[in-house]
A = this chain, B = another copy of it.
Amino acid sequence: MPRRPPLAKSELELARIVWRLGEATVRQVLEELPRERGLDFATVQTYLRRLEAKGYLRVSQRGRTNVYSSRVEPDRVLGEVVRDFLDRVFDGRPLPLVQQLITDPDLSDEEIDELQRTLDQLRERKK
């Protein structure tokens, strides 16, 4: 599998919107963007085109309108993005990052419990 060219920041931003909507036109994506982002219609168009060219999105026609949808499993892409980040910033070791994440910002009690459950499951699966 030739790995797709990397996602630029803005590209990921738009891809996530498409993922959330399932499928979307340029205009739909534009409307989902926070107003203060202030991107032009044509700009969104360009980014979606690039995402298609890079192999992340699939495009099809509805009337004369382009409809974009995910071509690669979003979770897969997310996994790659996380992995890359982990390698670059923490030498690929997840633990230090996890430590940072759960101590630094204030997790709610429910989130802590949620975390506990995940941890328990993890132990289960380990046995």
Partner of A122 from B94, B102, B122, B123 at Cβ < 8 Å: B102
Taking the closest CB of chain B, its distance from the CB of A13, in whole angstroms, is: 7
Q: Interface residues of A, CB < 8 Å — how many? A: 35
CA distance A119 to B118 in the complex (A): 12
Segment from A42-50, A54-62, A107-115 that makes contact with B: A107-115
Contact between B107 and A95, CB atoms less than 8 A apart: yes
CA distance A93 to B98 in the complex (A): 13
Contact between A109 and B95, CB atoms less than 8 A apart: no
Interface residues of chain A, those whose CB is within 8 Å of chain B, are: 9, 12-13, 16, 78-79, 81-82, 85-86, 88-89, 94-95, 97-105, 107, 109, 111-112, 114-116, 118-119, 122-123, 126
User: Nearest 6 pairs between A and B by C-beta?
Assistant: A94-B101, A95-B111, A98-B101, A98-B98, A85-B85, A94-B105
11 contacts between A and B (CB under 8 A): A79-B100, A82-B97, A82-B101, A82-B104, A85-B85, A94-B105, A94-B107, A95-B107, A98-B98, A98-B102, A107-B122
